[in-house]
Amino acid sequence: MRRSLLPAALAALAGALALTGCGSDSGGRPELSAGAAYMPQPVSADMAAGFLTVTNKGGGADELTSVTSDIAGEVTMHSTSGGAMTEKTSFAVPAHGRLVFRSGADHLMFEGLKRKPREGQRVTVRLGFAHSKPLTVEMPVRSATYIPSTGN
């Protein structure tokens, strides 16, 4: 009787692991998290830039399709190449990859500011995706000249 219990328990455990997408093989689903967020204190009273990284540990790709914030009337997503800035409606989050918004490259633009963000404050940012549930990020406001210490 005890012998028959063990395989059943293992099967249940394996089933639970498969359901939560645990491990490196997550069955083609995205597993997103957001980090490295900051907003340099803006010079202008009506526009600010913001940066963050979305990490995908899952085996499925996703897309960032919307960004909203408590502080801004509108948040737009911009790509930068060759010094030119282009507004985009979505950004890919590759499987087992990252979407990086960073200074001098792709970035978020907060427009129609309801208040001017000051160093030390936090701005709430909500990220919407094509497949995954939305993520909420608390974005700290840094000094106007802040540069992250790591290149990651």
Residue with tokens 């913001």: 50
Backbone φ and ψ of 6, nearest 5°: -60, -50
Cβ contacts of 112 within 8 Å, gap of 6 or more: 46, 72, 73, 74
One of 61, 109, 130, 135 touching Cu ion (CB under 5 A): 109
Sign of the Cα torsion 132, 137, 143, 149 reads negative
CB of 34 to Cu ion, least distance (A): 19
CB of 79 to Cu ion, least distance (A): 9
Of residues 95 and 109, the one with the C-beta less far from Cu ion: 109
Tokens of 125: 């940012």
Under rule CB under 5 A, residue 131 binds Cu ion:
no
One of 18, 47, 85, 144 touching Cu ion (CB under 5 A): 85
CB of 13 to Cu ion, least distance (A): 48
Report the interface residues with Cu ion, using CB under 5 A.
78, 85, 109
